[in-house]
Amino acid sequence: MNSNFSCKTCASADQKLETFISNLSVDTSHHRMEGQSVKCGFGLQGICCRLCSNGPCRITPDGLKGVCGATADTMVARNFLRAVSAGSGCYIHIVENTALMLKKTALSKGVLKGKVALAKLAEIFEIDETDEYICAEKIADLVLADLYKPDYVKMELVEKMAYKPRFDRWKELGILPGGAKSEVFAGVVKTSTNLNSDPVDMYLNCLKLGISTGLYGLTLTNLLNDVMLGEPSIRLAPVGLRVIDTDYINIMITGHQHAMFAYLQDRLIQDDVIEKAKAVGAKGFKLVGCTCVGQDLQLRGEHYKEVFNGHAGNNFTSEAILATGAIDAVLSEFNCTLPGIEPICDEFKIKQICLDEVSKKANAEMKPFVFEEKETQSNEIIDAVIEAYQARRGAVALNMNADHGNDDTLTGVSEGSLKSFLGGTWKPLIDLIVKGEIKGIAGVVGCSSLTAGGHDVLTVNLVKELIAKDILVLSAGCSSGGLENVGLMSPSAASLAGPKLRAVCESLGIPPVLNFGPCLAIGRLELVATELAEAIGVDLPQLPLVLSAPQWLEEQALADGAFGLALGLPLHLGLPPFVTGSPVAVQVFTQDMLSLTGGQLIIDDNAKSAAETLDAIIEKKRQELNI
């Protein structure tokens, strides 16, 4: 057992997964964590600068400034803005592709499954058009036109999308974004060698990137996808390693761009393709969800019951999913596709195909998705996967874990489906909040990481603490992957909630933790928050609503976080985002932000005390609302 490796695996909130991984003979991120356990202190504090050949410079007692004179405050701000710019770029890439896909789908009169979403977007964008294809095209064009504006021309949809009090505040602060792609460019330029040295200016810039990231990369991506792929609807679904069915040819999907699979996922259940699968001894094809694109598919699972087997796990579960031996191919189009899966794919003869040039994997076949060639490409992919299936099945040992996960995770929660569930109005939820049956709402979002106690450890523990305090948790991102696999999104989890929340959940038959799906759906949480604020008639910072990205992992999460702060929400992170070496950064994020946007950063890697802090904030906001 685990004889290949001298190191031990890291802890996971998911005990069954932890055991499964610790017994694997392949190297996973969980194994590598120990070898990387000693961290660079300068990196952790954000006070290492390698922007020029005089460096890398680090802030030490003997070197309080870089060679160029940059202080810790400047270094931290530059590093941070660079990261936020990169993270924003990732999400803007996603929305750009999604809008292009919508436009091409409209032009080619392809399938548009989400009529409600189409109408909603037309209303927001003030498009008066009865032909749904022309309407969709116009929507896509408006989005693309904004994305491609220069940074000195403000994007037009911001005002239409944003809640008015927020928009006004952003305007006052001068942080309304120009063209989203150009803003990424500006962020990169600004942080290059010996340009900007003003930390406050750079943090305001982060907020600007947060707005473009949030409204476009997150919110709009969801809505555009809804038009093409169908709106989410609430249902119970299986999750975990158990969803993998060895009778089928299994394709694991990873990434963030669900629309790229739109054609393929429909194709996989057509008769001729099923026949092909049967010809090699399988019952057909199944998609196995992993990372956010899997979450997105799960969210819309109602429309894909036949081809989709369920969501198996989040980013740091991907290696384990492959190590079952029952996955025949990995189709990836974006992050979070770990490089760590590559040797596992080699060892298990798993075919890897990458659909987006930005995320070419070292040993994978590159097949950039081309809309016009989607039919041919899909057939080629199907043939390649069948070939892999034939070569590997029987030759590769299976290591299934049918016990992992559960069959009753409540999925498909969105701003739309939740409102419908409540009877087409937010009033019941608002009433519950006002009466204190639900004390407040916490959006527990973002990634999964192996830090802060281990895989999903802080996320799961924090959520348990929050629900015990009658705080309803909404989750989006890889955090959902962990929370669902440990059963917190099953109706039975109501028993872990505080007495009031428990009663609410039990009467409605819902869990205390609602699954909004992928990290993109942080945009859906923003919609929920905005609609609640609108219904009550307050600004977002006044709501008894907090955000937490307990196990934020990467640059995209930092851009998401910037959105949260721009929205004026309290944001908890388990570990600091490499800024603690700068007193100015700490001051801006934890104190000054309150007067800028109303937001506030809280850093705490202890689930109990973090929950107490968030609970206190919610209590305070309730008091201020006189409820």
Partner 1 sequence: MKRIIIDREKCDGCLNCNIACISAHEEGSNFYTVNLQSPDAETRNFIKFDAQQGYLPIFCRHCDEPECVLSCMSGALEKDQLTGHVQYDETKCAACYMCVMNCSYGVLKPDKQTRTKLIKCDFCDDKPDGPSCVKSCPKKAIEVKEVSR
DSSP letter for each residue of 445-484: ES---S-TTSBTHHHHHHHHHHHHTTEEEEEESHHHHHHH
Residue of the chain from 1, 3, 6, 40 that contacts partner 1 (CB under 8 A): 40
Closest distance to partner 1 from the beta carbon of 595 (Å): 24
Name the token pair of 441: 């709402």
**C-alpha angle 165-416-472 in degrees, rounded to nearest 5:** 75
From the CA atom positions of the chain, what is the Rg in Å?
23
Q: Which is nearer to partner 1, 25 or 60 (CB)?
A: 60
Which among 95, 80, 82 has a CA at the least distance from the CA of 181? 95
Of 35-43, 142-150, 171-179, 508-516, the segment contacting partner 1 by CB under 8 A is 35-43
**Would you count residue 179 as binding partner 1 (CB under 8 A)?**
no
Of 143-151, 388-396, 465-473, 579-587, the segment contacting partner 1 by CB under 8 A is 579-587
Residue of the chain from 12, 317, 551, 580 that contacts partner 1 (CB under 8 A): 580
**Antiparallel, parallel or unpaired: β 249-254 and 235-239:** unpaired
Q: Which residues contact 340 (CB under 8 A, 6 or more apart)?
A: 27, 28, 29, 32, 319
Of 36-44, 329-337, 482-490, 526-534, the segment contacting partner 1 by CB under 8 A is 36-44
Of 39-47, 109-117, 507-515, 529-537, the segment contacting partner 1 by CB under 8 A is 39-47
Of 60-68, 223-231, 273-281, 552-560, the segment contacting partner 1 by CB under 8 A is 60-68
Q: Which is nearer to partner 1, 64 or 362 (CB)?
A: 64
Name residue 603's beta-bridge partners.
573
**Would you count residue 455 as binding partner 1 (CB under 8 A)?**
no
DSSP 343: H
**Would you count residue 466 as binding partner 1 (CB under 8 A)?**
no
Q: Which is nearer to partner 1, 42 or 348 (CB)?
A: 42
Q: Which is nearer to partner 1, 38 or 362 (CB)?
A: 38
What is the residue whose two structure tokens read 């049956």?
A: 437
Closest distance to partner 1 from the beta carbon of 72 (Å): 6
Q: Which amino acid is at 484?
A: E
**Would you count residue 7 as binding partner 1 (CB under 8 A)?**
no
**Would you count residue 44 as binding partner 1 (CB under 8 A)?**
yes
Of 22-30, 57-65, 119-127, 486-494, the segment contacting partner 1 by CB under 8 A is 57-65
**Would you count residue 61 as binding partner 1 (CB under 8 A)?**
yes
**Would you count residue 613 as binding partner 1 (CB under 8 A)?**
no
**Would you count residue 575 as binding partner 1 (CB under 8 A)?**
yes
Q: Which amino acid is at 485?
A: N
Q: Which is nearer to partner 1, 315 or 449 (CB)?
A: 449
Closest distance to partner 1 from the beta carbon of 9 (Å): 20
Q: In the sheet that 351-354 helps form, which strands lie side by side, from edge to edge?
A: 365-366, 351-354, 329-332, 249-254, 285-290, 308-313, 235-239, 406-411
Q: Which of helix, strand or coil describes residue 118?
A: helix
Residue of the chain from 57, 59, 224, 569 that contacts partner 1 (CB under 8 A): 59
Q: x/- contact string, 342-371, with partner 1 (CB under 8 A)?
A: ------------------------------
**Would you count residue 589 as binding partner 1 (CB under 8 A)?**
no
What is the residue whose two structure tokens read 């579960």?
A: 317
- 173 exposure class (CB count in 10 Å sphere: 0-12, 13-18, 19+): middle
CB 550 within 8 A of CB 458: yes
Closest distance to partner 1 from the beta carbon of 56 (Å): 10
Residue of the chain from 21, 47, 251, 467 that contacts partner 1 (CB under 8 A): 47
Give CA torsion, residues 479, 483, 485, 487, to 10 deg. Answer: -170
Residue of the chain from 60, 425, 507, 623 that contacts partner 1 (CB under 8 A): 60
**Would you count residue 72 as binding partner 1 (CB under 8 A)?**
yes
DSSP letter for each residue of 402-419: TTSSEEEEEE---HHHHH
Residue of the chain from 1, 3, 39, 128 that contacts partner 1 (CB under 8 A): 39
Q: Which is nearer to partner 1, 451 or 490 (CB)?
A: 451
**Would you count residue 70 as binding partner 1 (CB under 8 A)?**
no
Q: Which is nearer to partner 1, 452 or 494 (CB)?
A: 452
Residue of the chain from 58, 120, 242, 286 that contacts partner 1 (CB under 8 A): 58
Q: Which is nearer to partner 1, 459 or 580 (CB)?
A: 580
Of 53-61, 166-174, 490-498, 510-518, the segment contacting partner 1 by CB under 8 A is 53-61
Closest distance to partner 1 from the beta carbon of 553 (Å): 17
Q: Which is nearer to partner 1, 325 or 581 (CB)?
A: 581
- 375 exposure class (CB count in 10 Å sphere: 0-12, 13-18, 19+): exposed
CB 523 within 8 A of CB 417: no
- State how far the Cα of 137 lies from the Cα of 535, in Å rounded to an integer: 31
**Would you count residue 53 as binding partner 1 (CB under 8 A)?**
no
Name residue 366's beta-bridge partners.
354
φ, ψ of residue 3 in degrees (nearest 5): -75, -15
Q: Which is nearer to partner 1, 65 or 360 (CB)?
A: 65
**Would you count residue 95 as binding partner 1 (CB under 8 A)?**
no
- State how far the Cα of 358 lies from the Cα of 381, in Å rounded to an integer: 19
Distances (CA, A) of 438 to 36, 473, 544, 572: 41, 10, 10, 20
Q: Which is nearer to partner 1, 466 or 553 (CB)?
A: 553
Of 42-50, 346-354, 463-471, 498-506, the segment contacting partner 1 by CB under 8 A is 42-50
Residue ranges of alpha helices (H) inside 246-373 are: 262-267, 271-279, 291-299, 318-323, 341-347
- State how far the Cα of 264 lies from the Cα of 367, in Å rounded to an integer: 14
Q: Which amino acid is at 596?
A: L
**Would you count residue 325 as binding partner 1 (CB under 8 A)?**
no
Residues in contact with partner 1 by CB under 8 A are 38-42, 44-45, 47, 58-61, 64, 72, 575-576, 580-581, 583
